[in-house]
Structure 1
């Protein structure tokens, strides 16, 4: 297959065979026995590999004599992606739509249909995405404005009460504590032994805020200079044991609490990472698409690098589009070890 996205036939078939929605719009699958072309996530029964060809887009498939599948409607994928991208841009603008009906109308979709479409593409609802954007602006404003109230209005909230309703969950601390650089927040830490080396586990009252290899309490103090850093108690020991278990025996679906913050895009990438089943991987391009911005492949890689809680947000399941490893903050040997424990089959080409 000659494609501008550099997707090999093997990768395209793997996406089609697993019904991977992240490849919808990036490759077209054509079945020679039926003369029908589909998107990779088409729910129809899979044909034999020998009866499948791949194309860059629907136009190429049509030129080759294939017709669109009436079940998965592959010609609509491009329109859907454009609509989601347009909605993301609208939500980030100064005159953002105030509700789902207005947003859906602006991009030409029915509200309920677009709600499902947006969540499938980004991992969050339009309302959650908008709240994330506001909270991200609030974080930036709190670092610049002298008064917390001014920062709240600057971020786009209609009143301080609207911000305080969700600020604790979003920021992990009160706005005034954030303004003081985390002063008043207690972070408990412990060093846990794993087969991959000692691991720092640190948490606030809300959840894990740092999980890393090759770090200690001093590195934690440098990262959170105004927080109260104390040794962990029994509750943290139990939480750390669950994290260690994820290292040693991944895949038991432990729902570990986290208290981390990022941009709306970073958090969408982290949600996409947490949704990957053990033993499976996603490319940075797939993660960017899942976060609602297919063109932000490099930013998806940066979001993986900004991950504060290794293992819990499994950025070791991210890789390049050609199947090779990419980077890992704690060394590629550890990344390989984690993936092998999950049963990941690595690409044969060198990284």
Structure 2
């Protein structure tokens, strides 16, 4: 074998690498490999094989460096294929983005060079979304951007890649919570019910469209909601909203309580993936911003993951308070660090 005491071409934190292997962190696959001195085999972090002793393991920037050092690839986790998988997903994302009409899964998989069923799983693992959901999110975001830039609704629909207004309106209702024309015009024609209710952590604004909850926040009132949707019709909540608000308060008081709440939030594909990763964190556990970025297949996008946490409009329900800095400190929270600390303590994660 070559001299392993020489510095590696890429600076790495061995403790962080070991921690990723201990967690079998799939999000770190492709960033480095672990090589076992006693067996001469190198693996990707998510390898399911039994872990060797820490003193028998070193970390290298990738498969090529491992092979140059005399190690051979693990036949169980096949670490050499990780880079190919990521390149295939990036190629598929570009293919989806460039398509004039939504491509089929078969066409996307063929472009990437994979079988459809396998590539569907691979794409979702890397991005947090299915290929179809990723394409819908891209089109909805383009529609939103075009409307905000002043395009007419008709032009915006077709420039976003829709081949029929009906599909655009359906997606807009799903992701924007209102029709394209309403979004363009500050929520005109949309009715949003709201209520400010008490909780042990202070007053909570709960607001919802006909589709579901569009805002949960501490220390806000109707005026804050008005700034978000200046032309929407804001009305005091009815009995249905009171029921939703009661579930929100129940969640604040008892994070382990089961809730089934309809959502009406919009966001980019990246934001939606981050928010899905946040909702997957069990009560009583925390993650770092780096772990959230890795969980959605974007380990280099730590800062962007933090921004997406800050853009979360559904406090507690999308639990961005469960994300800490890499050193374990609380980091930021839109509603104050004391409130974040209190939420974590009652969940058992403080």
Do both share a fold (TM > 0.5)?
yes
Structure 1 portions without partners, runs of 5+ = 346-351
CA contact (8 A) 2:199 2:249 kept: yes
CA contact (8 A) 2:125 2:296 kept: no
CA pair 253-77 structure 1, distance change in 2 beyond 3 A: farther
Which residue in the other structure is 1:260 paired with? 265
Cα distance in 1 for partners of 2:132, 2:117 equals 13
Which residue in the other structure is 2:157 paired with? 152
Cα distance in 2 for partners of 1:228, 1:130 equals 31
2:82 matches 1:71: no
Structure 2 portions without partners, runs of 5+ = 1-6
Cα distance in 2 for partners of 1:86, 1:4 equals 25
Deviation at 1:64, TM superposition (A): 4.5
Which residue in the other structure is 1:335 paired with? 340
Equivalent runs, 1:99-248 vs 2, <5 Å: 99-145=104-150, 147-248=152-253
2:280 matches 1:275: yes
Cα distance in 1 for partners of 2:230, 2:13 equals 45
Cα distance in 1 for partners of 2:31, 2:257 equals 32
Cα distance in 2 for partners of 1:48, 1:253 equals 40
SS at match of 1:92: helix
Q: Deviations over 1:97-150 (max 9, x none)?
A: 722232223333232221111001111111110111011111122334553222
Deviation at 1:167, TM superposition (A): 2.9
Equivalenced residue count is 344
Cα distance in 2 for partners of 1:247, 1:268 equals 23
Cα distance in 2 for partners of 1:323, 1:28 equals 25
CA pair 14-244 structure 1, distance change in 2 beyond 3 A: farther
Equivalent runs, 1:4-153 vs 2, <5 Å: 7=13, 9=15, 11-93=16-98, 98-145=103-150, 147-153=152-158
TM-score relative to the length of structure 2: 0.87
Which residue in the other structure is 2:4 paired with? none
Cα distance in 2 for partners of 1:53, 1:342 equals 37
CA pair 229-119 structure 1, distance change in 2 beyond 3 A: same
CA pair 280-53 structure 1, distance change in 2 beyond 3 A: farther
CA pair 191-227 structure 1, distance change in 2 beyond 3 A: same
TM-score relative to the length of structure 1: 0.87
Q: Deviations over 1:28-76 (max 9, x none)?
A: 2334443332222222234444544433323344445433211111221
2:319 matches 1:307: no
